[in-house]
């Protein structure tokens, strides 16, 4: 499973990408707004820092304008993935951009039928929003499982990008369900490495090493 960092915070991206555990970045207008910086400048800076895919979202809602914006975003760097909403216009734009050889990420997916349409439109990634489904008492992970079965049934190459990840449990369940990629905020990725028994065991080892005068 690939790990994408869901943020527009370039300092956090730089820190996590240096660990070798991150494979790409996803952004959205809300994250860009939180950064307080110019949209295209942030995307270009992230693309220069990261070798992997960087999702940047169009702002238009009409297909023709989405295609124009998508081409403009793709011109910023070779690793830009154009993020499009899962609407009929978004799917139409996805088809055109995919035919142009531009990578796409169809976002705001909440049903298996929507995911099927995105794959038929040639999407590079489909982004099912797990956490937002959980918020309305629908099992978001079941959606990942359904999409996995459908894509495997027909040999679709669209990658399942588990999004709206709220914590480490979502990461584990996405991996078990067969998601190709997960994207999560920096704090969630950092939390994957922590466990109270790891901390307790390390403290014990260090205490015993000091008591025995062990050094390396």
Active site amino acids: 83
Nearest to 158 by CA among 110, 107, 89: 107
What are the residues whose beta carbons fall under 8 Å from the beta carbon of 202, sequence distance 6 or more?
none
d(CA 96, CA 72): 14
User: Beta-carbon neighbour count of residue 204 at 10 Å?
Assistant: 10
């Amino acid at each position: 499973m690939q790990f994408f960092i869901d943020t527009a915070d370039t300092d956090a991206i730089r820190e996590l990408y240096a660990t070798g555990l991150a494979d790409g970045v996803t952004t959205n207008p809300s994250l860009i707004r939180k950064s307080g910086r110019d949209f295209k400048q942030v995307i270009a800076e992230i693309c220069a820092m990261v070798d992997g895919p960087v999702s940047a979202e169009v702002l238009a809602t009409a297909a023709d304008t989405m295609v124009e914006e998508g081409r403009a975003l793709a011109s910023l760097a070779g690793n830009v993935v154009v993020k499009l909403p899962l609407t009929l216009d978004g799917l139409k734009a996805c088809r055109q951009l995919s035919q142009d050889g531009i990578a796409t990420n169809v976002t705001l997916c909440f049903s298996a039928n929507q995911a099927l349409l995105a794959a038929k439109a040639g999407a590079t990634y489909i982004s099912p929003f797990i956490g937002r489904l959980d918020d309305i008492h629908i099992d978001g992970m079941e959606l990942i499982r359904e999409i996995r079965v459908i894509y495997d049934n027909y040999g679709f190459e669209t990658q399942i990008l588990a999004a709206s990840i709220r914590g480490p449990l979502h990461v584990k369940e996405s991996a078990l369900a067969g998601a190709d990629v997960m994207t999560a905020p920096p704090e969630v990725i950092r939390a994957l490495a922590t466990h109270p028994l790891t901390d307790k065991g390390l403290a014990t080892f260090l205490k015993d090493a000091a008591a025995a005068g062990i050094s390396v």
